């Protein structure tokens, strides 16, 4: 029985992780549940799963959660610091990092320091601090399992081939909702258009990142760190059907790919049960119904965020952190209707040019850079 700490249990990944727990009660228990501010759902989850502890990060919601769970022996904490404390509890066997954005970095580092195996959905952690995180993963000898579907696919391809040399990764991308739009049309797309992803139902922030292809840039950086590859070894392949979840090309030219219907429960469950596979009910891929799979190159002129990510990956240091912070600010401003879609990339570019480069591998540098880059990006929006 694995006792899980699920950070971000009320989100898209968190709720699907709880589906996995629900279908394998003999294997997993939801030992700790945490949410940002969705008190109602956290309360409902706590009543169903009877965790040991819950954390509501938003302090204004603390009393509501505490009072609603007063009849149950569940500990209730609040605040960001509590997130770091609970992951280190001795009774926690694995941490699922499924918070969104830079906010996931600190608790993920806390889990690493406490030597807890980590199932990582929070890709921003590796974008911002990949070098540091992977160094600590090696030093602490802590398993770090990817939840992102592409990286789970890559891991599934590498199983049985860990000693063999990889030539490149074929990182598949749906292309997002604007694959067919030309650059001029992109000026006028709305948040509602961008929030309508063709194949995946995800949280709002990552759905916008998928529309700009910033998400694919993040995933390229994530893959470099997880699998010790150079940026030029990661090739983005637009594959609108989202059936091939990614592929690995080995030194002999052999390509292994992982295929399936788009369902995040599989990569979530695989990260929790690795190296074992557990049963998962649901739709199966029908190749006869599908008939064909299509692949096309990516247009980085139209989607400059991907090009910025390659630049950030090559230069390293705090540049990916700067890029991430600017993206978080611009992504939110677009969702709030404050800036047009094409301005997201412009703000990221200008912020990357403005914040001083720093090559030190240290959490303090990332926190300082994140703060500075947000300030710069916010001023660009005013």
Task: List interacting residues with Mg ion (CB under 5 A).
Answer: 148-150
Find which of Mg ion, ligand NAD, none residue 20 binds, CB within 5 to 8 Å per kind.
none
Q: How far apart are CA 327 and CA 320, in angstroms?
A: 10
Query: Which partner, Mg ion, ligand NAD, none, binds residue 35 by CB below 5 to 8 Å per kind?
Result: ligand NAD
| The two three-digit tokens of residue 185, written as one number | 């049309």
Give the whole-angstrom CA distance, residue 260 versus residue 328.
30
CB closest to ligand NAD, residue no: 11
CA 175 to chain centre: 17
Rank residues 36 and 51 by Cβ distance to ligand NAD and give the closer one: 36
Q: Is the CB of 250 or the CB of 265 nearer to ligand NAD?
A: 265
Measured CA to CA, the distance from residue 169 to residue 154 in angstroms comes to 8
Category of 46 on φ-ψ map: left (φ > 0), alpha (ψ -120 to 50) or beta? alpha
Q: How many helices (H) and strands (E) does the chain have?
A: 17, 11
Residue nearest to Mg ion (CB): 148
We find the least distance from the C-beta atom of residue 152 to ligand NAD, in angstroms, to be: 9
Please report how close the Cβ of residue 254 comes to ligand NAD at its closest, in angstroms.
27
Query: Closer to ligand NAD at the Cβ: 42 or 352?
Result: 42
Task: Please identify, using beta-carbon distances, which residue of 19 and 167 lies nearer to ligand NAD.
Answer: 19
153 is in the binding site of which of ligand NAD, Mg ion, none (Cβ under 5 to 8 A by kind)?
A: none
Q: Report, in Å, the least distance between residue 58 CB and ligand NAD.
A: 8
d(CA 210, CA 219): 11
**Nearest CB to ligand NAD, comparing residues 206 and 243:** 206
CB of 262 to Mg ion, least distance (A): 10
Transcribe 317-336 into DSSP letters: TTHHHHHHHHHHHHHHHHHT
Instruction: Name which of 24 and 205 has its Cβ closer to ligand NAD.
Output: 205
Q: CB under 8 Å, gap of 24 or more: what pairs does 281-285 form? A: 281/23, 285/243, 285/259, 285/260, 285/261
- Per DSSP, what are the bridge partners of residue 256? 248
Please, what is the minimum distance in Å from the beta carbon of residue 240 to ligand NAD?
17
| Whether 58 contacts 79, CB under 8 Å | no
Q: Rounded to 5 degrees, what are φ and ψ at 235?
A: -110, 125
Interhelix angle 343-354/363-381, rounded to 10 degrees, is: 130
DSSP-derived secondary structure letter, 88 = T
Out of ligand NAD, Mg ion, none, what residue 121 binds, judged by CB under 5 to 8 A for its kind, is ligand NAD
The site for ligand NAD (CB under 6 A) is made up of 8-14, 35-36, 38, 57, 98-100, 103, 121-124, 148, 200, 202-203, 205-206, 264
Judged by beta carbon distances under 5 to 8 A according to partner kind, the member of Mg ion, ligand NAD, none in contact with residue 103 is ligand NAD
């Amino acid at each position: 029985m694995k006792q899980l700490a699920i950070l971000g249990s009320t989100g898209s990944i968190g709720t699907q992780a709880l589906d996995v727990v629900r279908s394998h009660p003999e294997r997993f228990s939801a030992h700790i549940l945490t949410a940002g501010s969705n008190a109602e759902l956290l309360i409902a989850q706590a009543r169903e799963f009877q965790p040991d502890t819950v954390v509501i990060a938003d302090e204004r919601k603390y009393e509501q959660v505490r009072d609603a769970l007063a009849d149950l022996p569940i500990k209730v904490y609040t605040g960001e610091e509590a997130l770091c404390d609970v992951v280190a509890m001795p009774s926690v066997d694995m941490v699922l990092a499924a918070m969104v954005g830079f906010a996931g970095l600190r608790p993920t580092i806390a889990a690493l320091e406490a030597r807890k195996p980590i199932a990582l959905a929070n890709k921003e952690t590796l974008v911002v601090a990949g070098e540091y995180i992977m160094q600590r993963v090696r030093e602490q000898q802590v398993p770090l399992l990817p939840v992102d579907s592409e990286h789970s696919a890559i891991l599934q391809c590498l199983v049985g081939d860990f000693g063999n040399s990889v030539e490149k990764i074929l990182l598949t991308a749906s292309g997002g909702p604007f694959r067919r739009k030309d650059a001029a049309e992109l000026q006028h797309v709305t948040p509602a258009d961008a929030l309508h992803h063709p194949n995946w139902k995800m949280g709002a922030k990552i759905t916008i990142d998928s529309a700009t292809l910033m998400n694919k840039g993040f995933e390229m950086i994530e893959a470099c760190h997880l699998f010790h590859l150079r940026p030029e070894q990661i090739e983005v392949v637009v594959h609108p059907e989202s059936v091939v979840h990614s592929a690995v090309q080995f030194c002999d030219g052999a390509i292994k790919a992982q295929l399936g219907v788009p369902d995040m429960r599989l990569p979530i469950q695989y990260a929790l049960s690795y190296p074992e596979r557990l049963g998962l009910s649901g739709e199966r891929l029908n190749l006869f119904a599908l008939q064909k799979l299509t692949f096309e190159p990516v247009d980085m002129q139209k989607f400059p965020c991907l090009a910025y990510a390659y630049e950030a990956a090559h230069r390293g240091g705090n540049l990916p952190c700067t890029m991430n912070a600017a993206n978080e600010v611009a992504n939110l401003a677009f969702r709030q209707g404050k800036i047009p879609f094409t301005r997201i990339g412009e703000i990221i570019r200008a912020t990357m040019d403005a914040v001083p480069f720093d090559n030190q591998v240290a959490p303090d540098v990332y926190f300082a850079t994140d703060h500075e880059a947000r300030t710069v990006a916010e001023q660009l929006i005013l």
